[in-house]
Structure 1
Amino acid sequence: MMERAYIASNKPLDNVNRYSKMSLAKPVMRGLLGKRLRFHLPIAFALSLMAAAAFKFGVTEPRKRAYADFYKNYDATKEFNNMREAGIFESVRPTGK
């Protein structure tokens, strides 16, 4: 005698065979790495180029401009004299002493 099957209700399903076998499809194992690389490698390459370009134009170029603007009007001798007068150096005394 066959048992009755119930699926998410209390009504029996007479046309469902509980003992039938269903097999899953076999996974594709051959060439799996190559297939995934063909898909992911161009994406990784494009993302790395975009990240490098973003870093170059978002960080290094503004930094270069900031350094260029700073050293455009920078006077090293004037800065040295200001630090000497402030008494920062031990080997060079201020002019008044």
Structure 2
Amino acid sequence: MSTTRNPREIVAAAVRAGQFDAPADEALDRAIASGADVPFEKLDFDSLGWMEFCISVELESGLELTPTLVSGMRSLHDVEAWLAARLNR
């Protein structure tokens, strides 16, 4: 699978999708853009937010990221690493 977006861009878009009804969090956006490792607890997503996050990752990358896979991860860096390993095959 080839994409023009890098894993960090895909994750940033997915975070915005997961915040679908919340106001923009500029501090979180800056942290993600700077490469900070953001733990999932900081995202404060409900179950719908996580579904939107996973759907966005799939739409942006063509890779299926399920909530079950996410439950085994702890932070956005874990998602980025998962994407990088699969996109660079």
Task: Please say whether Structure 1 and Structure 2 have the same fold, judged by a TM-score greater than 0.5.
Answer: no
Which protein has greater RCO, CA pairs closer than 8 Å, 6+ apart? 2
The structure carrying a bigger strand percent of its residues is 1
The structure carrying a bigger helix percent of its residues is 2
TM-score by length of structure 1 reads: 0.17
**Structure number, greater radius of gyration:** 1
